Structure 1
Amino acid sequence: MVDVIHKEKAIDKEVIFASIEEAIAIAAKKHLDTEEAPIVNIDRKTGNITASIGNKQIDTITLGRIAAQSAKQIIVQKIREAERDKVYSEFEAKKNDILTVSIARFEGPNIICLAGKAEAVLPKSGQVPGESRRVGERLRALVTEIEKRGTRVKIFLSRANDDFVKRLFELEVPEVSDGIVVIKAIAREPGYRTKIAVYSNNAKVDAAGACIGIRGSRIRNVVDELNGENLDIVKWSTEPDKFIKESLKPADVADVIADSNKKRATVYVAKDELSQAIGKGGRNVRLATLLTGWEIDIVEVKGKSEEKNDAPEETTSNTTATEEQKNAINNSGVDASTSSGDISNES
């Protein structure tokens, strides 16, 4: 029996023996109505069972009858728990890694996937808006949580998590996986646009260039996996004005005045750059705010014909991060950047 379970469930033989011994001991204690459970041993070679309470040996015939009748359900339960623990350990080691799964079925808004012999859930919160899926399709997703629920293991996946993009770059860019290029911060609106702040620990390696690749080959592979989501690569810097200026790419910024006490910046742009600086629905400036951790005000720079007696007029955007967003940014260790690369068709 032990060999069969070992082969079918891929559970270590010693775990199976220990589970059977414990189950028989529990059943024997109940059957014999003793204060303490007997010590049960199974010979690993012959399969012979011995048991004792203190110095008193328990008749093996009686013990065999108990094992067959009373301990059966306990043994089954123990084997299921051992199987659950094995699956849990396997996927716990894969937490925050990307997993390739196949879609088995849909349960309401959730997508149930097969990950080897285990089932994984891609909840609605982990799905990217605009993506459509079908049964049998293979997809890649980030393992975010693993939970034990009774005798089952619940594995949760996400494609909307910021770390999904980070892990994709680690797979596509050797300099990132080797730690030469560091991803300092990510600001993302899944399905629409992502801004990534990068920094190089090696002066000879251009962080943005490494992530973009020759003719955009590396970043394009990530974009393809994200089904066309726009990506901006921004060089991280400790100087707030430089980081804020580059975080608003692809817009061309004329000037940045940063107030370190209030952590608020006024950004001046030409009229024809205003729409790009703000972005569709305010997305560009909103993501720049999240990426840098600074509140950003966009101000239009007047042309000479308009400059008669005062400073530039503030025209459009005042984007302020919520307290929750600020805390998330502060925890990421972002200070500020310098130069950017992007694949984008969005204003």
Structure 2
Amino acid sequence: MIGMKGSDILRIVDALHREKGVDKEIIFMGIEAALVSAAKKKLGMEKNIVIEISRDTGEITALDGETPIGDFGDLLGRIGALTAKQIMTQKIREAERDVVYDEYSKREGQLITGTVQRYEKHNVIVSLGRTEGIIPWREQVPGESYNPGERIKCLVLEVKKLGQRVRIVLSRAHPDLLRHLFELEVPEIAERIIEIKDLARDPGHRAKVAVQSIDHKVDCVGACVGIRGSRIKNIVDELNGEKIDIVRWNDSQEVYIMNSMKPALVNAIELDYENKRAKVFVEEDQLSLAIGRRGQNVRLASKLTGWDIDLVTGTPDAYEERFQVHADGSRAPRPAAAEDAGGSSAADSGEETSADAAEATDDPAAEETPPQAEE
């Protein structure tokens, strides 16, 4: 840099601007700051050194106070020139970091496509073009494999500065990834004709998405599924086979919870608004479907609706016949019912199965069912 012609400096600034994407003014200011620092190390830190580079010609003007400095290159010498180069490189890196941060911090919460580069311990490094992102182990989907060179879609979860680097955290497991994939595949959602009201996800296994149509002429469930399932298939393929249930949202909590429990058929629902707890009655042959494999169906329905769900076999009348209500509001089997139900299962006796308890269920009969869409 020292001893170069002005035209050479302009060419270097232009090349750095194109290569790094850093504003030319920032590069000029970085070079000037580097030269000032190097000059002060040579002449003394107390000196009032001012250096300006012409933005038009690239010529360097150096002043010690108001006194022009002669041959600036000879003054600094080789060591000073190396110092200036090191400082300039640092300034350019800081400017480049700021450019990357400004670009990607605006994309937090958005969908991005990258290319898998490599693994570092349990983390996946993804090339985003001019920089790299990281998918930490906790944001990866169980069972997914990421092969170098593979193109994948991720959610930009967090962008922050770490020293001279920018750390871009990506996610494949976040529920909002599913939301953005629907916006990408279903034009009616992107155009706000259909609204995603709620979603719940068990990454890599199953998800439930509640939708509502703003335009009553548009069937929200059918639009999300697509002709012969084409739209939902593209999303399932992107998520490597994760099953997706499309649920019709309803402002009636009873109807909404009933819809969320599909593919299981529900007899009736009783709501405890004070504790936001729902008692869902199903036939015994629907209990396995209602619970789902390892409690997946009832757990996702609970997350989707925001209600704690207790599953009960039979009907409300049959349930009341079997249980008596104490003064404190608690229930216990009536003596006759308990005697009749001796040795029977919880489902047979009409006892409750909560969403939390269902999570521990691993009944082979409660096999996972294919994605469901309402009729």
TM-score by length of 1: 0.85
Show structure 1 runs of 4+ deviating over 4 A: 34-37, 306-309
Indicate the RMSD between aligned Cα atoms, in angstroms.
Answer: 2.6
Give the match for residue 300 of structure 2.
287
Give the superposition deviation at 1:316: 4.8
Code of the residue aligned with 2:25 in structure 1: it is: E
Code of the residue aligned with 2:105 in structure 1: it is: E
Give the match for residue 30 of structure 2.
19
Q: Distance in 1 between matches of 2:70 and 2:180?
A: 57
**Which residue of 350, 354, 367 corresponds with 1:314?**
350
Please tell me whether the aligned partners of residues 160 and 166 of structure 2 are also in contact (alpha carbons under 8 angstroms): yes
Q: Is 2:69 the counterpart of 1:68? A: no
Code of the residue aligned with 2:56 in structure 1: it is: K
Q: CA separation of 1:62/1:250 partners in 2, compared to 1, >3 Å: closer, same or farther?
A: same
Give CA deviations for 1:18-51 in whole Å, capped at 9, x if unaligned.
1112222333344433557533221012211224
Q: Distance in 2 between matches of 1:6 and 1:58?
A: 30
Please tell me whether the aligned partners of residues 254 and 269 of structure 1 are also in contact (alpha carbons under 8 angstroms): yes
Code of the residue aligned with 1:18 in structure 2: it is: M
Q: Distance in 2 between matches of 1:198 and 1:64?
A: 72
- Tell me which structure has the larger Cα radius of gyration: 2
Q: Secondary structure at the match of 1:253?
A: coil
Q: Secondary structure at the match of 2:55?
A: coil
**Which residue of 125, 128, 143 corresponds with 1:115?**
128
Q: Distance in 2 between matches of 1:36 and 1:236?
A: 72
Code of the residue aligned with 2:51 in structure 1: it is: V
Q: Distance in 1 between matches of 2:70 and 2:135?
A: 51
Q: Is 2:33 the counterpart of 1:9? A: no
Q: Distance in 1 between matches of 2:104 and 2:252?
A: 41
Give CA deviations for 1:198-225 in whole Å, capped at 9, x if unaligned.
1222222222222112222111111111
Give the match for residue 59 of structure 1.
69
Q: Distance in 1 between matches of 2:94 and 2:120?
A: 26
Give the match for residue 341 of structure 2.
none
Give CA deviations for 1:61-82 in whole Å, capped at 9, x if unaligned.
2477436243221101001111
Q: Is 2:139 the counterpart of 1:126? A: yes
Please tell me whether the aligned partners of residues 268 and 315 of structure 2 are also in contact (alpha carbons under 8 angstroms): no
Greater RCO, CA 8 A, separation 6+: 1
Q: Is 2:264 the counterpart of 1:251? A: yes
Aligned length: 323
Gap regions ≥5 residues in structure 2: 1-11, 324-347, 358-369
**Which residue of 108, 133, 137 corresponds with 2:150?**
137
Please tell me whether the aligned partners of residues 271 and 302 of structure 1 are also in contact (alpha carbons under 8 angstroms): no
Q: CA separation of 1:308/1:204 partners in 2, compared to 1, >3 Å: closer, same or farther?
A: closer
Q: CA separation of 1:253/1:32 partners in 2, compared to 1, >3 Å: closer, same or farther?
A: same
Q: Secondary structure at the match of 1:232?
A: strand
Q: Distance in 2 between matches of 1:119 and 1:154?
A: 8
Give the match for residue 161 of structure 1.
174
Q: Distance in 2 between matches of 1:62 and 1:153?
A: 36
Q: CA separation of 1:68/1:318 partners in 2, compared to 1, >3 Å: closer, same or farther?
A: same
Q: CA separation of 1:192/1:181 partners in 2, compared to 1, >3 Å: closer, same or farther?
A: same
Code of the residue aligned with 1:13 in structure 2: it is: K
Please tell me whether the aligned partners of residues 322 and 350 of structure 2 are also in contact (alpha carbons under 8 angstroms): no
Q: Distance in 2 between matches of 1:309 and 1:142?
A: 51
Give the match for residue 43 of structure 1.
54
- Between stretches 56-65 and 273-282, larger displacement belongs to 56-65
Q: Is 2:220 the counterpart of 1:207? A: yes
Q: Secondary structure at the match of 1:274?
A: helix
